[in-house]
Protein backbone atom coordinates (compact mmCIF):
# COMPACT_ATOMS: atom_id res chain seq x y z
CA UNK A 1 0.00 0.00 0.00
CA UNK A 2 1.16 3.55 -0.74
CA UNK A 3 0.52 6.74 1.19
CA UNK A 4 1.27 10.31 0.16
CA UNK A 5 1.90 12.82 2.98
CA UNK A 6 1.57 16.43 1.82
CA UNK A 7 3.83 17.95 4.51
CA UNK A 8 5.64 17.20 7.75
CA UNK A 9 4.10 15.01 10.43
CA UNK A 10 5.72 13.64 13.59
CA UNK A 11 7.98 10.62 13.04
CA UNK A 12 5.97 8.47 15.43
CA UNK A 13 3.08 8.38 12.92
CA UNK A 14 5.38 7.62 10.01
CA UNK A 15 6.97 4.78 12.01
CA UNK A 16 3.50 3.33 12.74
CA UNK A 17 2.78 3.22 9.00
CA UNK A 18 6.21 1.85 8.06
CA UNK A 19 5.78 -0.96 10.59
CA UNK A 20 2.94 -2.18 8.38
CA UNK A 21 5.19 -2.04 5.30
CA UNK A 22 3.44 0.96 3.88
CA UNK A 23 5.38 2.83 1.24
CA UNK A 24 5.49 6.52 2.04
CA UNK A 25 6.08 9.44 -0.27
CA UNK A 26 6.32 12.83 1.38
CA UNK A 27 6.14 16.38 0.06
CA UNK A 28 9.58 17.73 0.93
CA UNK A 29 9.63 21.21 -0.59
CA UNK A 30 9.83 24.28 1.61
CA UNK A 31 6.44 25.58 0.46
CA UNK A 32 2.82 24.47 0.47
CA UNK A 33 1.91 21.98 -2.26
CA UNK A 34 -0.39 23.48 -4.92
CA UNK A 35 -3.77 22.00 -5.85
CA UNK A 36 -2.42 20.69 -9.17
CA UNK A 37 0.67 19.21 -7.54
CA UNK A 38 -1.51 17.47 -4.97
CA UNK A 39 -3.63 15.82 -7.66
CA UNK A 40 -0.48 14.72 -9.48
CA UNK A 41 1.15 13.42 -6.27
CA UNK A 42 -1.89 11.31 -5.37
CA UNK A 43 -1.78 9.38 -8.66
CA UNK A 44 -0.94 5.76 -7.89
CA UNK A 45 -1.38 6.29 -4.12
CA UNK A 46 -3.84 4.44 -1.90
CA UNK A 47 -4.21 7.10 0.77
CA UNK A 48 -3.46 10.74 1.52
CA UNK A 49 -2.36 12.44 4.72
CA UNK A 50 -3.38 16.03 4.12
CA UNK A 51 -1.19 18.50 6.01
CA UNK A 52 -2.10 22.18 5.95
CA UNK A 53 -4.79 24.01 4.07
CA UNK A 54 -4.89 21.87 0.88
CA UNK A 55 -8.43 22.13 -0.46
CA UNK A 56 -10.04 18.70 -0.43
CA UNK A 57 -12.73 20.01 -2.75
CA UNK A 58 -14.88 18.43 -5.47
CA UNK A 59 -12.18 18.96 -8.12
CA UNK A 60 -9.53 17.22 -6.02
CA UNK A 61 -11.83 14.41 -4.83
CA UNK A 62 -12.99 13.58 -8.35
CA UNK A 63 -9.38 13.50 -9.58
CA UNK A 64 -8.39 11.29 -6.63
CA UNK A 65 -11.44 9.05 -6.25
CA UNK A 66 -9.17 6.00 -6.18
CA UNK A 67 -8.03 6.98 -2.65
CA UNK A 68 -9.20 4.55 0.02
CA UNK A 69 -8.85 7.09 2.81
CA UNK A 70 -7.85 10.70 3.53
CA UNK A 71 -6.47 11.55 6.97
CA UNK A 72 -6.33 15.23 7.91
CA UNK A 73 -3.53 16.63 10.06
CA UNK A 74 -6.11 18.81 11.86
CA UNK A 75 -9.35 18.66 13.74
CA UNK A 76 -10.84 21.46 11.62
CA UNK A 77 -12.23 20.26 8.31
CA UNK A 78 -13.54 23.46 6.69
CA UNK A 79 -11.17 22.72 3.77
CA UNK A 80 -13.09 19.52 2.93
CA UNK A 81 -16.15 19.11 0.70
CA UNK A 82 -17.71 16.50 2.97
CA UNK A 83 -20.78 15.94 0.75
CA UNK A 84 -18.57 15.16 -2.25
CA UNK A 85 -16.38 12.80 -0.20
CA UNK A 86 -19.52 10.98 0.94
CA UNK A 87 -20.84 10.82 -2.62
CA UNK A 88 -17.57 9.29 -3.80
CA UNK A 89 -17.39 7.09 -0.70
CA UNK A 90 -13.94 8.30 0.36
CA UNK A 91 -13.62 8.12 4.15
CA UNK A 92 -12.05 11.24 5.71
CA UNK A 93 -10.68 11.36 9.26
CA UNK A 94 -9.36 14.10 11.56
CA UNK A 95 -7.54 14.50 14.90
CA UNK A 96 -10.08 15.46 17.59
CA UNK A 97 -9.38 15.89 21.30
CA UNK A 98 -5.60 15.45 21.41
CA UNK A 99 -4.95 19.07 20.48
CA UNK A 100 -7.56 20.72 22.71
CA UNK A 101 -5.19 21.49 25.61
CA UNK A 102 -2.44 22.92 23.39
CA UNK A 103 -4.82 25.07 21.37
CA UNK A 104 -6.52 26.39 24.49
CA UNK A 105 -3.05 27.25 25.85
CA UNK A 106 -2.43 29.34 22.73
CA UNK A 107 -5.73 31.17 23.31
CA UNK A 108 -4.76 31.72 26.95
CA UNK A 109 -1.31 32.95 25.92
CA UNK A 110 -2.84 35.46 23.50
CA UNK A 111 -5.36 36.65 26.10
CA UNK A 112 -2.54 37.34 28.58
CA UNK A 113 -0.28 38.88 25.95
CA UNK A 114 -2.99 41.28 24.78
CA UNK A 115 -4.03 42.19 28.32
CA UNK A 116 -0.44 43.36 29.04
CA UNK A 117 0.44 44.55 25.48
CA UNK A 118 3.31 42.06 25.68
CA UNK A 119 4.09 41.62 21.98
CA UNK A 120 4.07 45.38 21.37
CA UNK A 121 6.22 46.17 24.41
CA UNK A 122 8.67 43.41 23.47
CA UNK A 123 9.08 45.12 20.09
CA UNK A 124 9.80 48.42 21.88
CA UNK A 125 12.82 46.82 23.58
CA UNK A 126 14.06 45.33 20.32
CA UNK A 127 13.74 48.73 18.65
CA UNK A 128 15.76 50.44 21.40
CA UNK A 129 12.73 52.32 22.76
CA UNK A 130 12.84 51.18 26.40
CA UNK A 131 13.89 54.46 28.04
CA UNK A 132 13.55 53.86 31.78
CA UNK A 133 11.15 52.54 34.41
CA UNK A 134 7.89 54.50 34.34
CA UNK A 135 4.99 54.15 36.78
CA UNK A 136 2.46 54.71 34.03
CA UNK A 137 3.82 53.29 30.79
CA UNK A 138 1.31 51.75 28.41
CA UNK A 139 -0.89 50.11 31.02
CA UNK A 140 -2.51 46.72 30.68
CA UNK A 141 -5.76 45.49 32.18
CA UNK A 142 -6.40 42.90 34.88
CA UNK A 143 -8.00 39.60 33.97
CA UNK A 144 -8.80 38.48 37.49
CA UNK A 145 -12.55 38.09 37.96
CA UNK A 146 -13.33 39.32 34.44
CA UNK A 147 -15.99 37.46 32.45
CA UNK A 148 -14.86 35.00 29.78
CA UNK A 149 -17.29 34.56 26.90
CA UNK A 150 -16.68 31.41 24.87
CA UNK A 151 -18.11 31.37 21.36
CA UNK A 152 -18.30 27.61 20.66
CA UNK A 153 -18.02 25.63 23.88
CA UNK A 154 -16.76 22.38 22.36
CA UNK A 155 -13.56 20.53 23.24
CA UNK A 156 -11.11 23.46 22.90
CA UNK A 157 -13.54 26.05 24.27
CA UNK A 158 -14.02 23.90 27.37
CA UNK A 159 -10.24 23.69 27.95
CA UNK A 160 -9.95 27.47 27.60
CA UNK A 161 -12.82 27.94 30.06
CA UNK A 162 -11.16 25.65 32.61
CA UNK A 163 -7.84 27.52 32.33
CA UNK A 164 -9.46 30.94 32.74
CA UNK A 165 -11.70 29.85 35.62
CA UNK A 166 -8.75 28.19 37.37
CA UNK A 167 -6.07 30.82 36.83
CA UNK A 168 -8.06 34.03 37.10
CA UNK A 169 -11.37 32.98 38.69
CA UNK A 170 -13.09 34.22 35.56
CA UNK A 171 -16.84 33.57 35.46
CA UNK A 172 -17.64 31.75 32.19
CA UNK A 173 -20.55 32.41 29.86
CA UNK A 174 -20.87 30.79 26.43
CA UNK A 175 -22.87 30.68 23.25
CA UNK A 176 -23.35 27.61 21.09
CA UNK A 177 -26.11 26.69 18.67
CA UNK A 178 -27.56 24.82 21.64
CA UNK A 179 -26.61 24.25 25.28
CA UNK A 180 -23.64 21.98 26.01
CA UNK A 181 -24.93 20.16 29.08
CA UNK A 182 -21.92 17.80 29.24
CA UNK A 183 -19.55 20.77 29.49
CA UNK A 184 -21.79 22.37 32.12
CA UNK A 185 -21.23 19.27 34.26
CA UNK A 186 -17.46 19.92 34.14
CA UNK A 187 -17.40 23.68 34.70
CA UNK A 188 -19.69 26.37 35.95
CA UNK A 189 -20.66 27.94 32.63
CA UNK A 190 -23.83 29.85 31.80
CA UNK A 191 -25.48 29.56 28.39
CA UNK A 192 -26.38 32.97 26.93
CA UNK A 193 -27.64 34.33 23.61
CA UNK A 194 -25.08 35.67 21.12
CA UNK A 195 -26.19 39.25 21.93
CA UNK A 196 -25.72 38.63 25.67
CA UNK A 197 -22.28 37.12 25.01
CA UNK A 198 -21.24 40.31 23.23
CA UNK A 199 -22.66 42.63 25.87
CA UNK A 200 -21.44 40.80 28.99
CA UNK A 201 -18.00 39.38 28.10
CA UNK A 202 -14.70 41.03 29.03
CA UNK A 203 -12.86 38.50 26.87
CA UNK A 204 -14.47 36.71 23.92
CA UNK A 205 -12.63 33.60 22.77
CA UNK A 206 -13.70 32.00 19.49
CA UNK A 207 -13.71 28.19 19.30
CA UNK A 208 -16.28 27.24 16.63
CA UNK A 209 -15.55 25.62 13.32
CA UNK A 210 -15.53 27.84 10.22
CA UNK A 211 -18.86 27.21 8.48
CA UNK A 212 -21.28 29.21 6.33
CA UNK A 213 -22.93 30.25 9.61
CA UNK A 214 -19.74 31.45 11.35
CA UNK A 215 -17.97 33.01 8.35
CA UNK A 216 -17.41 36.75 8.98
CA UNK A 217 -19.48 36.41 12.17
CA UNK A 218 -17.34 39.03 13.93
CA UNK A 219 -17.91 42.08 11.76
CA UNK A 220 -17.94 45.76 12.72
CA UNK A 221 -21.60 45.62 13.84
CA UNK A 222 -20.70 42.80 16.22
CA UNK A 223 -17.53 44.51 17.54
CA UNK A 224 -19.67 47.61 18.25
CA UNK A 225 -21.85 45.53 20.57
CA UNK A 226 -18.82 44.38 22.62
CA UNK A 227 -17.53 46.35 25.62
CA UNK A 228 -14.91 49.02 24.71
CA UNK A 229 -12.73 47.39 27.39
CA UNK A 230 -13.05 43.89 25.91
CA UNK A 231 -10.50 41.56 24.31
CA UNK A 232 -11.23 39.44 21.23
CA UNK A 233 -9.32 36.16 20.82
CA UNK A 234 -9.53 33.90 17.77
CA UNK A 235 -7.62 30.60 17.62
CA UNK A 236 -10.28 28.87 15.50
CA UNK A 237 -10.18 30.11 11.90
CA UNK A 238 -9.32 33.50 10.40
CA UNK A 239 -12.50 33.53 8.31
CA UNK A 240 -14.65 33.85 11.45
CA UNK A 241 -13.67 37.49 11.94
CA UNK A 242 -13.69 40.12 9.23
CA UNK A 243 -10.11 41.40 9.25
CA UNK A 244 -10.82 44.87 7.85
CA UNK A 245 -13.53 45.38 10.48
CA UNK A 246 -11.27 44.09 13.25
CA UNK A 247 -8.56 46.59 12.27
CA UNK A 248 -11.16 49.38 12.36
CA UNK A 249 -12.44 48.19 15.76
CA UNK A 250 -8.89 48.27 17.17
CA UNK A 251 -7.91 51.60 15.56
CA UNK A 252 -11.07 53.34 16.74
CA UNK A 253 -10.86 51.70 20.22
CA UNK A 254 -14.27 50.11 19.71
CA UNK A 255 -12.73 47.13 21.55
CA UNK A 256 -9.64 47.13 23.76
CA UNK A 257 -7.51 44.50 22.06
CA UNK A 258 -7.31 41.36 19.95
CA UNK A 259 -5.18 38.22 19.82
CA UNK A 260 -5.11 35.98 16.77
CA UNK A 261 -3.55 32.60 16.05
CA UNK A 262 -5.43 32.39 12.78
CA UNK A 263 -5.75 34.93 9.98
CA UNK A 264 -7.34 35.23 6.59
CA UNK A 265 -5.34 34.75 4.43
CA UNK A 266 -2.54 32.65 5.92
CA UNK A 267 0.27 33.47 5.92
CA UNK A 268 -0.48 37.06 6.94
CA UNK A 269 1.26 39.75 4.92
CA UNK A 270 4.25 41.11 6.85
CA UNK A 271 2.97 44.66 6.32
CA UNK A 272 -0.42 43.92 7.88
CA UNK A 273 -1.26 46.78 10.31
CA UNK A 274 -2.26 44.25 12.99
CA UNK A 275 1.43 43.41 13.41
CA UNK A 276 2.31 46.92 14.56
CA UNK A 277 -0.64 47.87 16.74
CA UNK A 278 -0.14 48.25 20.48
CA UNK A 279 -3.43 46.45 21.12
CA UNK A 280 -3.00 43.36 18.90
CA UNK A 281 -1.00 40.13 19.14
CA UNK A 282 -0.67 37.70 16.25
CA UNK A 283 0.78 34.18 16.12
CA UNK A 284 1.37 32.12 12.95
CA UNK A 285 -1.27 29.35 13.48
CA UNK A 286 0.65 27.46 16.17
CA UNK A 287 -2.31 26.40 18.32
CA UNK A 288 -1.56 22.67 18.25
CA UNK A 289 2.20 23.01 17.72
CA UNK A 290 3.71 21.30 20.75
CA UNK A 291 5.92 18.20 20.58
CA UNK A 292 3.45 16.14 22.59
CA UNK A 293 0.40 17.23 20.63
CA UNK A 294 2.00 16.76 17.23
CA UNK A 295 3.03 13.21 18.28
CA UNK A 296 -0.53 12.49 19.42
CA UNK A 297 -1.96 13.89 16.16
CA UNK A 298 0.41 11.74 14.08
CA UNK A 299 -0.73 8.63 15.97
CA UNK A 300 -4.41 9.35 15.24
CA UNK A 301 -3.52 9.96 11.60
CA UNK A 302 -1.75 6.59 11.39
CA UNK A 303 -4.76 4.88 12.99
CA UNK A 304 -7.12 6.51 10.51
CA UNK A 305 -4.92 5.55 7.56
CA UNK A 306 -4.47 1.93 8.68
CA UNK A 307 -8.20 1.49 9.28
CA UNK A 308 -9.08 3.04 5.93
CA UNK A 309 -6.58 0.93 4.00
CA UNK A 310 -8.01 -2.13 5.71
CA UNK A 311 -11.54 -1.18 4.68
CA UNK A 312 -12.51 -0.68 8.35
CA UNK A 313 -14.50 2.19 9.83
CA UNK A 314 -12.16 5.08 10.72
CA UNK A 315 -11.59 5.52 14.46
CA UNK A 316 -11.72 9.34 14.08
CA UNK A 317 -14.04 10.02 11.15
CA UNK A 318 -15.52 13.34 10.07
CA UNK A 319 -18.17 11.30 8.26
Ligand X SMILES: O=C(O)C(=O)CO
- Cα 9 to chain centroid distance, Å, stands at 17
C-alpha dist (Å) from residue 231 to 25, 120, 145, 291: 44, 15, 14, 29
What residues from 138 to 197 belong to the interface with ligand NAI (CB under 6 A)? 152-157, 175-177, 180
Q: Output the DSSP codes for 287-306.
A: TT-SHHHHHHHHHHHHHHHH
Beta-ladder partners of 213: none
Verify binding: residue 76, ligand X, rule CB under 6 A.
yes
What residues from 216 to 275 belong to the interface with ligand NAI (CB under 6 A)? 235-237, 261-262
Handedness of CA 107, 109, 115, 118 (dihedral sign): negative
| Residue 207 falls in the annotated catalytic set | no
Verify binding: residue 75, ligand X, rule CB under 6 A.
yes
What residues from 258 to 317 belong to the interface with ligand X (CB under 6 A)? 287-288
Distance in angstroms (rounded) separating the CA atoms of residues 41 and 168: 49
Distance in angstroms (rounded) separating the CA atoms of residues 160 and 156: 6
| Residue 116 falls in the annotated catalytic set | no
Considering only 4-12, 54-62, 70-78, 161-169, which stretch makes contact with ligand X by CB under 6 A?
A: 70-78
Residues 6+ apart with CB under 8 A from 122: none
Verify binding: residue 208, ligand X, rule CB under 6 A.
no
Contact indicator for 47, 67 with CB cutoff of 8 Å: yes
Eight-class DSSP state of 256: S
User: Which entry of 138, 252, 266, 292 is annotated as an active-site residue?
Assistant: 266
Pick one of 74, 105, 115, 201: the residue that binds ligand X (CB under 6 A).
74
Verify binding: residue 285, ligand NAI, rule CB under 6 A.
yes
Q: How far is the CB of 246 from ligand NAI (least distance, A)?
A: 16
Catalytic positions, written as ranges:
237, 266, 285
Residues at the interface with ligand NAI (CB under 6 A) = 75-76, 96, 99-100, 103, 152-157, 175-177, 180, 207-211, 213-214, 235-237, 261-262, 285, 287-288
Residues at the interface with ligand X (CB under 6 A) = 74-76, 99, 287-288
Amino acid sequence: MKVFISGNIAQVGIAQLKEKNIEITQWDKDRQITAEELIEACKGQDALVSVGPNKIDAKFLNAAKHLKVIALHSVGFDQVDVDEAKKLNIPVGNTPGVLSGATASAAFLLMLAVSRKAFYLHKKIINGNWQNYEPTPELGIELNGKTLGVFGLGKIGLEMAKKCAGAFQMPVIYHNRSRNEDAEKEIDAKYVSFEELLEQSDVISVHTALTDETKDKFSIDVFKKMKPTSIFINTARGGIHNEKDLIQALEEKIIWGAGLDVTNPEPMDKNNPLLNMDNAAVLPHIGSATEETRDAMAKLIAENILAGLNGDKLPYPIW
